[in-house]
């Protein structure tokens, strides 16, 4: 009886899983749909050619994320059916940083409006958007200067790559890795990183192949030791923010809170049994002088003993 019950439960679970897959395949939009809220007090209303428009935050999610319009001639229905991360370009990084930095209530409406202008400037049809930007700059005091200020503020704030240099303490047995995160111009930036060793070695702190740390501007050092012999590969992952495109009746831009990126940076050999050959002391070193003096004394002693015997 128990065997029969288990078989029935297994069949039922398989049927339910198949039904879930069929629903997901036939109704993806329904599963992904998110109802947005109207954003009040975070945008300007204006008219152009007799039609109403807004510039600034157009909508908010129930969790508080801000959505910015990227198609000025379209209207939203506040229902998100699809979200994709846009290409990691310089414009995307700057806008992602701005959306992260000003992702809260209480900012002047001018700030939200300026971010809205930058979204349209970089992602809207410029043949359509150009006259809107020109009009807005002519009627809204301080908007143009705020747009320029924010664009400059957002330059090179996010890591786009990482760099690791290696320093061996005991040859193949142990050493250290010097980690830095770099912005688009190659300058160091601060941020959280995860270093991973693939192969027979671990990091000293927890004897684990993964170490999480904070990359300082001057760099951060982590120490490793071999657990066997062979080749290891060093990868460094880091967190950033990204820019997502959300599809409603119009396309909108929204912050992607956490984007994981990873670089594969170093490959080298390790050996926990490695023992460097002992080298003879170099001439001029303290030990070399002692040995030289001892040899001279022995030679003199041998010569004197030989002279005595001859007599």
Q: Is the pLDDT score of 28 beyond 90?
A: no
Q: How far is CA 59 from the centre of its chain?
A: 27
Confidence of residue 215 (pLDDT cuts 50, 70, 90): very high
pLDDT surpasses 70 at 297: no
**CB burial of residue 223 (10 Å; 0-12, 13-18, 19+):** middle
Helix 90-101, helix 109-123: angle, nearest 10: 160
Mean pLDDT of 285-298: 49
Mean pLDDT of the region 152-161 = 92
The pair of structure tokens assigned to 246 is 């959300």
Query: For 166, phi and psi rounded to 5 degrees?
Result: -115, 140
**Banded model confidence at residue 274, pLDDT cuts 50, 70, 90:** confident
What are residue 192's DSSP bridge partners?
214
Number of H helices, E strands in the chain: 7, 16
On average, the pLDDT of the chain sits at: 83
**Per-residue pLDDT tens over the stretch 69-104:** 999 999 999 999 999 999 999 999 999 999 999 998
pLDDT at residue 170 tops 60 = yes
Average pLDDT over residues 155-171: 87
Give tens-digit pLDDT for 182-200: 998 899 999 999 999 999 9
Question: Count of CB atoms within 10 A of residue 78's CB?
Answer: 17
Residues 6+ apart with CB under 8 A from 281: 287, 288, 291
Rounded average pLDDT over 158-170:
86
- The dihedral sign for the CA sequence 135, 138, 139, 144: positive
- Of the chain, the percentage scoring pLDDT greater than 70 comes to 77
**Residue 213 CB partners (closer than 8 Å, separation 6+):** 179, 192, 193, 195, 220, 222
Residue 11 scores a pLDDT above 90 = no
- Which two three-digit tokens encode residue 124? 């809207």
Q: Is the pLDDT of residue 243 over 80?
A: yes
Q: Is the pLDDT of residue 45 over 60?
A: yes
* Whether pLDDT at 260 is above 70: yes
pLDDT score at 292? 53
Task: Tell whether the model's pLDDT for residue 47 goes beyond 80.
Answer: yes
pLDDT, position 193 = 94
Which among 129, 78, 45 is positioned nearest to 250, based on CA atoms? 78
Q: Give the Å distances, CA to CA, from 227 to 197, 254, 260, 271.
A: 11, 45, 28, 7
Token duo for residue 284:
């001029």
Supply the pTM of this predicted model. 0.71
Answer yes or no: is pLDDT of 162 > 90: yes
Under DSSP, the state recorded for 208 is: B
- 282 confidence band (pLDDT: 50, 70, 90): very low
**Has residue 24 got a pLDDT over 80?**
no
Confidence check: pLDDT of 275 > 80 = no
User: What pLDDT sits at residue 189?
Assistant: 93
Q: What is the dihedral of CA 145, 147, 149, 153, to 10 degrees?
A: 180
Q: Which letter, b or e, does each residue of 155-166 get, where b requires 16 or more Cβ atoms within 10 Å of its Cβ? A: ebbbbbebbbee
**Tokens found for residue 97:** 């940083």
Domains of the chain, by residue range, sit at 33-153, 161-241+259-271
- The tokens for 37 are 């809220």
Q: How many Cβ atoms are within 10 Å of 183's Cβ, its own excluded?
A: 17
Q: Residue 23: its pLDDT value, please? A: 38
The verdict on domain 161-241+259-271 having CATH code 2.30.29.30 is no
> Closest by alpha carbon to 113, among 149, 77, 158?
149
């Amino acid at each position: 009886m128990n065997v029969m019950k288990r078989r029935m439960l297994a069949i039922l679970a398989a049927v339910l899983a198949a039904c879930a897959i069929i629903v997901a395949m036939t109704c993806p939009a329904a599963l992904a749909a998110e109802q947005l809220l109207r954003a009040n007090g975070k945008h300007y209303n204006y008219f152009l050619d007799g039609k109403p428009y807004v510039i600034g935050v157009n909508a908010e999610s129930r969790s508080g994320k801000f959505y910015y319009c990227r198609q000025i001639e379209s209207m939203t229905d506040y229902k998100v059916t699809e979200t994709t991360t846009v290409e990691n370009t310089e414009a995307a990084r700057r806008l992602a940083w701005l959306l992260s930095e000003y992702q809260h209530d209480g900012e002047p409406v001018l700030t939200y409006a300026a971010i809205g202008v930058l979204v349209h400037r970089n992602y809207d049809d410029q043949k359509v958007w150009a006259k809107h930007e020109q009009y807005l700059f002519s009627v809204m005091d301080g908007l143009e200067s705020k747009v320029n200020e924010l664009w400059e503020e957002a330059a090179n704030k996010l890591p786009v790559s990482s760099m690791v240099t290696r320093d061996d303490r005991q040859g193949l047995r142990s050493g250290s890795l010097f980690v830095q995160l770099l912005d688009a111009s190659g300058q160091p930036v601060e941020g959280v990183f995860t270093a991973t060793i693939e192969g027979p070695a671990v990091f000293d702190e927890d004897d684990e192949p993964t170490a999480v740390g904070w990359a300082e501007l001057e760099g951060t050092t982590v120490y490793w030791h071999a657990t066997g012999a062979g080749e290891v590969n060093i990868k460094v992952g880091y967190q950033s923010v990204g820019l997502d495109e959300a599809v409603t009746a119009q396309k909108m831009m929204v912050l992607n809170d956490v984007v994981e990126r990873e670089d594969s940076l170093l490959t080298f050999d390790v050996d926990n049994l490695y023992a460097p050959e002992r080298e003879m002391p170099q001439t001029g070193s303290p030990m070399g002088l002692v040995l030289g003096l001892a040899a001279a004394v022995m030679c003199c002693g041998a010569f004197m003993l030989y002279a005595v015997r001859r007599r």
